[in-house]
Amino acid sequence: MKNLGILLSGRGSNFEVIARNVQAGRIPARIAIVIANREEAPGLARAREMGLKALCIPSRGKDRDAFDQELAGALRASEVDLVCLAGFMRVLGPTLIRDFPGRILNIHPALLPAFPGANAQKQALEYGVKFTGCTVHIVDEGVDTGPIVCQAVVPVLDEDAVETLSARILAEEHRIYTEAICLMLEDRIEIAGRRVRIRP
């Protein structure tokens, strides 16, 4: 059984769906550790309630390398095979990424490469696109730039505000993150340059 490590900074709804799907046997893995970089992250409290190993490694005031080394140490100690960023608001440095080559996933609330970075739903709304969505990608050393594993599209409606659009996107995030994790765990991902092919 492979070990998942979840990194989060906030609400943790993606984490919760992953945890429920693990419990239900829809994701063939166990959650070995949940790490938040903020003690106040609601997702951290939720992980503890669920009886998972969950800890806070504060990032505030630390330089990236020191923080990354702590993170990498905790992930290695829990023998993590696949790292899932689930609303994790810190950019990971090269040291950590090289420790888990091709084994870190992130979910982003836009159709990358459109609208990377923070407030992607607001960026999409203000730009005036008619469709947006979400992307699960492999983390590389850029911000939201790694090879794309899965995407889902949602329409932008005339009456949308950031909240309604975000909710429509979130429902798809919850669906495709599990899908991408399963593909990774089943070793069905083949990366050629930027392209990710899915083996049947």
Q: Which residues are catalytic?
A: 108
Task: Kindly state the smallest distance separating residue 154's Cβ from ligand GRF, in Å.
Answer: 12
Nearest residue to ligand GRF, by Cβ distance, number only? 87
Nearest C-alpha neighbor of 99 from the set 78, 136, 66, 73: 73
Q: Is there binding between residue 173 and ligand GRF (CB under 6 A)?
A: yes
Q: Is there binding between residue 87 and ligand GRF (CB under 6 A)?
A: yes
Rounded to 5 degrees, φ, ψ at 8 are -145, 165
Pairing of the two strands 82-85 and 54-56: unpaired
Q: For the chain, count helices (H), then strands (E).
A: 6, 9
Interacting residue with ligand GRF among 108, 112, 148, 176 (CB under 6 A): 108
Q: Is there binding between residue 122 and ligand GRF (CB under 6 A)?
A: no
d(CA 14, CA 6): 10
Q: Which amino acid is at 182?
A: C
Task: Kindly state the smallest distance separating residue 126's Cβ from ligand GRF, in Å.
Answer: 17
Using CB under 6 A as the binding rule, the residues of this chain from 30 to 49 that contact ligand GRF are 43
Q: Give the binding site for ligand GRF (CB under 6 A).
A: 8, 10-15, 43, 86-87, 107-109, 170, 173
